[in-house]
Amino acid sequence: MINEKLEKAINEQINAEFYSEYFYLSMYAYFERINLQGFKNWMNVQLQEEHAHAMGLFNYLHERGGKVSLKQIEQPKTDWSSPKEVFEDVLKHEQLVTSKINALLDVAEEVNDRAAVSFLDWYLKEQVEEESNVGNVLKTLNLICDDKQCLFMIDKELATRTFNPPVIG
Ligand code: FEO
C-alpha cells in the first residue's frame, strides 16, 4: 500500500499533467486561429505527451494499490500576442513542472519509498529533455526570427515533429 502523503502528491501531479495537456491544447487552438500548422502540430505532439505523463502516474498509483482522485482542471490562458510569447510561456510552464516533480521526489524520499523514487526519476529526466527542446525553439525564435518568412521556415520544421508514445518508468 502506498503512503497517504505520497498518494496525495501523485494525485496533484496527475492534475498538473492533465492541466499541461489542457494548456497545450489551448495553444494548439491559438495556432489554428493564426494558421501556423507546424506550430499547431508541435502542440499536438506535446499535449499527447502530457496525456501520457498523466496516465503514467495514474496507472502507477493503481499498480501500487493507491486511489486515483481526479480534480478540477484550471482554465488555461487562451490568447497570446505572438508565437514567441507562446514559447516563453511553455518554457516557464515546463520549469514549473520540473519544480513540481522535484517536490514530488522529495515526498517519495521523505516517506522512504525507493520504488517510487526510481519510477519518478524518469519524469525528472523527461523534464530535462523537455526544457532543452523548448529552449531550442525559443532560441531560434529569439535570435533568428524577426520576419514572417523566418516564422514560416520554423513552422515547416515544427511540422515534422511526431508523437512516439513514451515508455515510462
Ligand atoms: Fe509532463 Fe511537460 O511535463
141 lines ligand 1 (CB under 6 A): no
Ligand 1: which residue has its CA nearest to atom 1? 50
Taken in order of first residue, the domains within the chain and their CATH numbers are 4-70+80-158 (1.20.1260.10)
Residue-wise pLDDT tens for the chain (169 aa)? 899 999 999 999 999 999 999 999 999 999 999 999 999 999 999 999 999 999 999 999 999 999 999 999 999 999 999 999 999 999 999 999 999 999 999 999 999 999 999 999 999 999 999 999 999 999 988 877 667 788 999 999 999 999 999 999 8
93 lines ligand 1 (CB under 6 A): no
pTM above 0.85, yes or no: yes
The whole-angstrom separation of Cα 87 and Cα 131 is 11
CA–centroid distance, 147 to ligand 1, in Å, is 30
